[in-house]
Structure 1
Amino acid sequence: MRKRWLWAAAITAVIGLGAGTAGGYALYGGEERYSTLPDGLTVGGLSVGGLTADEALADVRSRIQALEATEVVMNAPPAVQPALSTTAPSSDAVVTAMNSPQSSLTTLSFSTLPSASTSSPAPTLKQLGMSIDASDVLAMLEAYRDATWRQRANMRTAMLTTDYGVRVTWNKAAFQREAADAWGALASSQGVNASRTINDTDEVVYTPETLGTELDTEALMASIVKLAPVSLAPDAVEVASAGLQALGVGLPVVQVPPEVTEASLKEEGLDRKIAEFTTSFATSAEGRSYNVSVTAQALDGTLLMPGEEFDYGKIVDKAEKQFGYKEAPVIVNGKLTPGIGGGICQVSSTLYNAVIRTEGLDIVERRNHSLPVSYLPIGLDATFADGYINFRFRNSTGKQLLIKAEVNNKELTVKLFGTMDEHVSYDIETVQKQVTAPKMVYVADNQVALGKSSVRQSGGTGYVIETYRVKLIDGKFAEREKLATSTYRSHDEIVAVNPADPRIAPASDDDKQPPKPSADSPVEPV
């Protein structure tokens, strides 16, 4: 019985010793077997099977750093190219791309044409706003590294059946900022403003604008997001070292209109010539002809904005500063006398006649001369007296108004360009309401023989004239409106006779001398 027990004990000991030895072998084999990652494991497209966790961690981090540091070299010339049909990123924050281990590497592409040299280094994908997030992959590798061999054994099956991808994000604001700095100049071209001229036949001619270009950062970002790496595949290292090579994507641009376009010019409303009026100064002496010409030069090209008021006094000031005025007849106290600036009222009066034949121009201030003028029908003049009388009107057409003035062969022509219904035109009528005959005044002169006489000043008839504007639509009467009442004073005819002539009457020295301007006597340059 005792012998049998001893045998059983011996067998048990042997069995125990064998089990212990087997456990030791199992422990040693597990640590060795599970110290590396399972064969066939890929993370983010990168094969890491057979590597230790630390080796895989270093490889993943190195590849991420290399990809983010990849330089994007743009070799496209600054030519206009249509934007790609790729949908542009819509978020201002990030654009995300995911891939599985099976995803293939896509390389960014640009033209292989000779590049424009720049002093700035090429931007990297990271500078362009790309970042690669492999936090899930790194967390898995760190967990495997820190696990026991038994835990690793349990993890391996799950690892081989799980897709470990990386998350690529793009910061849109950063991309647009960096792309504009790097390539904006290559894609930019300066536009040319549209222009408007008036030709010799008074036609308004437009020259269209030339569009400029600027970099389409959204379209470019869509291209780069589509073509840039989204995995850690083996070829990524080659891409990072060589730069993103050319496959044909050029700089997309958008067309940019210049500040002044043909449409914006036409919107201003200078559609056509809407009025014209001409007066002659053929009988004027050199001084007066000069004054008319320089005032016309000062008036020419005046542009009135909608609602703006025209002030003739500013035109006179401009002409006087630029050219100066010469001596020519003016009206003082109802009499013609030598003075400075004679002729400038012919310009204001010619302009007035163009204005009253135009729709949408409101007369603010206008007065007739104290005497009728020779270059216009009575009742249609507009005088100017510095500090006393001005000619003003308001542009109520709702569009711009351009005033052109020119002198040819001693004829002054004023033309208005703007917007006006082509079916509308105006006729001007005057009605004589009152006539005042001049008085005959005799003054003594010892040089005149008895019974003889000498006219010292011709008399002038006085008038009261009403002016009306008749509106026509397609040449047919539409309405009639009163524009103004003009009053012209009569002035005496002065005749010199012998002092013994019975027609003589006591006369003051003022009757014998031409009147002189005073502070209270406005000078009217006729």
Structure 2
Amino acid sequence: MKKIHLSVIWIWCGILALAMLWGGLHLYADRQTLPKGVRVGGISMGAMDKTAALRLLDEKLDALKQRPLILTDNDSSAQDIKLTLGDAGITYNASAFRNGVKALGSEHLWTRVQTRFTFEKEWSVTPSRQENALKAQLGTDWEEQRYGMPVNAVRQITPYDQVHYIPGRSVRRLDWPKLNVALDKALPKDLTASGEPVRVELPFRQLEPDITVDSLRGEGIERKIVQFSTSLGSSSEGRVYNVNSAASTVDGLILKPGDIFDYGQIIAKAERTQGFREAPVIVNGQLESGIGGGICQVSSTVYNAALRVGLDIIERRNHSLPVSYLPKGQDATFATGSINFRFKNNTGKHLLLRAAVQNRMLTVKFFGTFPSNVSYELESRTVRVLPIPEKKIRNGSFSPGFYQVLRQGREGYVVETYRIKKVDGKTVERTRISRDTYHAQQRIVAVPDESTSSEPQTREPQKRIIEDGIR
């Protein structure tokens, strides 16, 4: 009986001890305060009420968000940029501490006990940045307004045909990788810092223009390599205008290595931008009034310049009639849709074409790279003279033996042209570049009608080809 009584006593003692332990654990785990000695971002929060501690944390984080951020410019004339850390997309993360506080209130007793017992004494706050937030305020438009745009270098041809360069101008742009590093270094690492502004000096890089002196020099437009002129003589006002219109469209044209000069494109652009006026054109071998007369003087002058620097002529045809401003065999005609003039830039460098009319002279110049000891000459010779054909027109009102010359004819020519290459003044190559035919013009004579036939004379219509004009 004694033994049973002692057992009961020990059982009740055990129950009481467990109850006291259970109660003690509840008292320990259910505290609404943080453990002693806890610091968050350098701020002491030990033994603080959990809700009050979280409220204090939020206040400190909000204060950090509103802390001034001053971005200074090393240009003394430029104003500093004043923002807040929040404006720059900078926030501080204390999620680890918040999760720890949340675990202190877990519904599981053992979790609460274990969390409180192992609760860290030091908690950090970590800054994070949304880079796009700052870039939205200091983006491309802001940079262009504050620091301007790069200015391209310019190539100039002086009145004395010297090639000069005007340097471009680079501008400053924010160096974002360096700015990000500087910001990360300058940001407060805890909550204890005062409200003094965070200062960061803006780092810059130079934005170069698309076109620099070096890039222009690399094109190889070093000097004037050829010049050729033809006279406008007594050309009419309309013809002079047309030559000017085509020449000004050629002026300033740059051909890259391998590019094709296409005179048809030049004429199309000139007609679109400046137009052409009435002047004599060649229609099926006869001079008539038309629109654009004179444009072939430009193509012919360019042709001569191209020949004299050894360029590859892709397409070219002579006029049906000789021209007054060039020797036979050295002209280049044009007819919209049927006859074109084209050559290729085979110099390996860029070519700059200049063309202008001054004192009734059309002058074409090429600027580029060309050996100074190499030159080209042209030689044209007539290999055949074509007789003047005669056409008789019968007139019933004429007396027998009477006749009248309505149009004097002209002889035609077959002409061969050679290009002669010289190196150091000595001929090293002689190449025939063309064999041209200038058709003879009919001599038209009116004579008495001595035929007995009443049938009218007929002829097939001839296709209308307009040279040296557009219509």
TM-score (norm 2): 0.71
How far did 1:56 drift? 8.1
Distance change in 2, residues 1:127/1:73 (3 Å):
closer
Q: Which residue of the partner structure matches residue 93 of structure 2?
A: 132
Does residue 5 of structure 2 align to residue 47 of structure 1? no
> 1:153-196: CA deviations, max 9, x gaps?
x96xx98xx8725152534xx22x11122334266432223333
Q: 1:324 aligns with which of 247, 253, 276?
A: 276
Match of residue 135 from structure 2: 180
Q: CA 1:126–1:522 in 2, change beyond 3 Å: closer, same or farther?
A: closer
Q: Which of 177, 182, 201 matches 1:218?
A: 177
Matches within 5 A, 1:18-37: none
Q: CA deviation at 1:298?
A: 3.8
Pair 250,433 (structure 1): closer, same or farther in 2 beyond 3 Å: same
Does structure 2 retain, via aligned residues, the 8 Å contact 1:64–1:132?
no
Aligned-pair CA distance for 1:472 = 3.4
Question: Alignment partner of 1:417: what SS?
Answer: strand
Counterpart for residue 356 of structure 1: 307
Q: 1:353 Cα shift?
A: 0.7
Q: Deviations for 1:448-469, whole angstroms, at most 9, x for unmatched residues?
A: 9xx9999765553433222222
Going by fraction, where is strand more abundant, 1 or 2? 2
Q: Secondary structure at the match of 1:214?
A: strand
User: In the TM superposition, what whole-angstrom CA distance separates every residue of 1:308-327 from its partner, at most 9, and x where no partner exists?
Assistant: 43332343444455343223
Counterpart in 2 of 1:480? 430
Is structure 2 residue 229 aligned with structure 1 residue 278?
A: yes
The answer to which of 482-491 and 432-441 deviates more is 432-441
Spell out, residue by residue over 1:277-336, the C-alpha distance to the aligned partner (whole angstroms, 9 max, x if none): 1011224344544443333234333444554433323434444553432233x4444444
Q: How far off is 1:370 after superposition?
A: 2.2
Give the Cα separation in 1 of the matches to 2:357 and 2:224. 17
- Separation of aligned partners in 2, 1:339 and 1:144: 100
Displacement after TM superposition at 1:222 (Å):
1.4
Provide the residue aligned with 2:69 in structure 1.
Answer: 73
1:164 aligns with 2:122: yes
CA deviation after TM superposition for structure 1 residue 372, in Å: 2.2
Distance 2:443 2:181 in 1: 92
1:98-497 mapped onto 2 (5 Å cutoff) = 115=80, 122-125=83-86, 128-133=89-94, 135=96, 139=100, 164-166=122-124, 168-171=126-129, 174-175=130-131, 177-184=132-139, 185=142, 188-233=147-192, 236=193, 238-239=194-195, 244-246=197-199, 249-320=200-271, 322-328=274-280, 330-336=281-287, 339-359=290-310, 361-397=311-347, 399-438=349-388, 457-491=407-441
2:241/2:276 contact within 8 Å kept = no
Secondary structure at the counterpart of residue 122 of structure 2: coil
Report the AA paired with residue 131 of structure 1.
Y
1:58 maps to a residue whose letter is: L
Quote the RMSD (CA, aligned, Å).
4.8
SS at match of 1:74: strand
Q: 1:165 to 1:468 in 2, by over 3 A?
A: farther
Q: CA deviation at 1:375?
A: 1.3
Change over 3 Å in CA distance of 1:279–1:362 after alignment to 2: same
Give the percent of matched residue pairs that are identical in Structure 1 and Structure 2.
37
- Return the alpha-carbon distance in structure 2 between the equivalents of residues 331 and 353 of structure 1: 21
Contact 2:279 2:294 in 1 (8 A): no
Change in 2 beyond 3 A, CA 1:115/1:293: closer
Q: Provide the rounded CA distance (Å) in 2 between the counterparts of 1:42 and 1:283.
A: 101
Instruction: Check conservation: 2:278, 2:292, Cα contact below 8 A.
Output: yes
Q: Which runs of 5+ in 1 are unaligned?
A: 1-19, 82-110, 500-504, 507-517
CA distance in 2, matches of 1:302, 1:44: 68
Other structure's SS at 1:460 match: coil
Q: Aligned partners of 1:62 and 1:220: how far apart in 2?
A: 28
| TM-score with structure 1 setting the length | 0.65
* Aligned with 1:523 (options 441, 466, 469): 466
Given that 2:67 and 2:198 are in contact with CA atoms closer than 8 Å, whether structure 1 keeps it comes out as: no
**Structure 2 gaps, min length 5:** 1-16, 452-460
Partner deviation per Cα, 1:182-224 (whole Å, 9 max, x = no partner): 3342664322233333221223332222222322222222122
Measured after TM superposition, the shift of residue 429 of structure 1 is: 2.6
Q: Give, in whole Å, the separation in 2 of the partners of 1:452 and 1:380.
A: 42
Change (3 A) 1:281 1:147: same
C-alpha displacement at 1:226, in angstroms? 0.9
Match of 1:86 in 2: none
Residues in 1 aligned to 2:181 and 2:175: alpha-carbon distance in whole angstroms: 10
Number of residue-to-residue matches in the alignment: 425
2:65–2:91 Cα contact (<8 Å) kept: no
**In structure 2, the residue corresponding to 1:313 is in which secondary structure?**
helix
After superposition, the Cα gap between the structure-2 partners of 1:129 and 1:75, relative to the gap in structure 1 and judged at 3 Å, is closer
Letter in 1 for 2:69: V
